[in-house]
Structure 1
């Protein structure tokens, strides 16, 4: 089976599952119903989602990331401030979710200790996609701090969005803008500290340590590494 056929089958099962998630969550019950209703060959569907409903939920998040990246690729960002580009990317990602109940059920699933690492990876991967799509080239400790900051903004905005009853989610987008403003203020403060000549003697060792941390070469290389000693 080639990649296109694999994704087509996964999409069929996922689309069928979404009608059941609101009632049964991301569970084996949902997966069984989705396989039956999608017409997918049961053995093949099980092979595509080897851990069952958990892998189905992970694929739902993966598909949302792809939808965000596809929309971001055709969005004119040239005249936007960088903070507005980040805000646009996160808004596109949230709009790609569509179904709030599917997100609630997903949060409940990944809050379980057994699946918490999967939930963390999902959040981190989304934020990595955003930074990479926006041209981030950092390869030291900044690679991590950027994604940590964005993870905080994104997760807080998701929680706000779940309870937002405003027209066209206007309150959510205002909340998102405020959170990004806060992060930008912190980044400006960091820049001012780095530029202050009085602080330079105190920053030599922290800056040196930060340069030793290396960004991962890929998802399988997390959490990354330090520079080899010479």
Structure 2
């Protein structure tokens, strides 16, 4: 199956996630409503994603990353400095996610389950790396990884803040993001402040994923 068909199936699945959660049943219902995939068995559908729900969530996250890029490019962001470019991309990611906050909470809850820790971190770092890639980062070695680790902390803490209240706007979260970016002014360098941001992020995310949706 082509990757684009998998993305289409996951997109259809989102209509069922609010009621069924990130489950195989939600995938089966999405496939049942697809002319291309209606004939596939449940086993065949699971095989498409290597029998892992986390892979489906990964495609969902990749889709949001692509939408982030489209939103960022639709705005006048060409002449921004590095920090402001990173900020604009994080806010673009939130705008791409604006209509599926509850689904994102569900994905965090699922990925917090035992056995999903590595994949959860991998997906977070993938988004962080995508932001730096679009921002034109050409760093290598330790600097490459430190930038992505620090940004992962900034992004996650702001995401936790935004998700904490269903009615919290992106504009409100922008003020919070500014403070987090100010905490790590030297965003390409590991510092005591950046480590503190990352550690605080883990606590904030735990408080979000422990809440049942």
TM range (shorter): 0.7 to 0.9
Q: Do the aligned partners of 2:91 and 2:170 also contact (CA within 8 Å) in 1?
A: no
SS of equivalent to 1:19: coil
CA displacement at 1:90 relative to structure 2: 0.5
In the TM superposition, what is the alpha-carbon distance from 1:167 to its structure 2 partner? Answer: 6.5
Q: Secondary structure at the match of 2:51?
A: coil
CA contact (8 A) 1:10 1:45 kept: no
Q: Structure 2: give runs of 5+ residues left out of the alignment.
A: 192-213
- The higher-RCO structure (CA 8 Å, 6+ apart) is 2
**Which secondary structure does the structure 2 equivalent of 1:39 belong to?**
coil
Q: Whole-Å Cα distance in 2 between the matches of residues 149 and 179 of structure 1?
A: 10
Aligned length: 186
Which position in structure 2 is the counterpart of 1:120?
A: 121
Calculate the aligned-residue CA RMSD, in Å: 2.4
Cross-structure match for 2:10: 14
Structure 1 gaps of 5+ residues are: 191-230
TM-score, normalised by the number of residues in structure 1: 0.72
Aligned to 2:208: none
Find out whether 1:37 has 2:33 as its counterpart.
yes
Q: How far apart in 2 are the matches of 1:11 and 1:51?
A: 16
- The SS at the match of 2:146 is helix
What TM-score do the two structures reach when normalised by structure 2? 0.78
Preserved CA contact (<8 Å) 2:101 2:166: no
Q: In structure 2, what is the Cα distance between the partners aligned to 1:186 and 1:45?
A: 42
Distance 1:52 1:144, change over 3 A: closer
Greater C-alpha radius of gyration? 1
SS of aligned partner of 2:76? coil
Q: Is the 8 A contact 2:146 2:189 kept in 1?
A: no
Aligned to 1:10, the other structure's residue is in SS state: helix
Q: Deviations over 1:134-193 (max 9, x none)?
A: 111111211111111100011111111112455743211111111111111676997xxx
SS at match of 1:57: helix
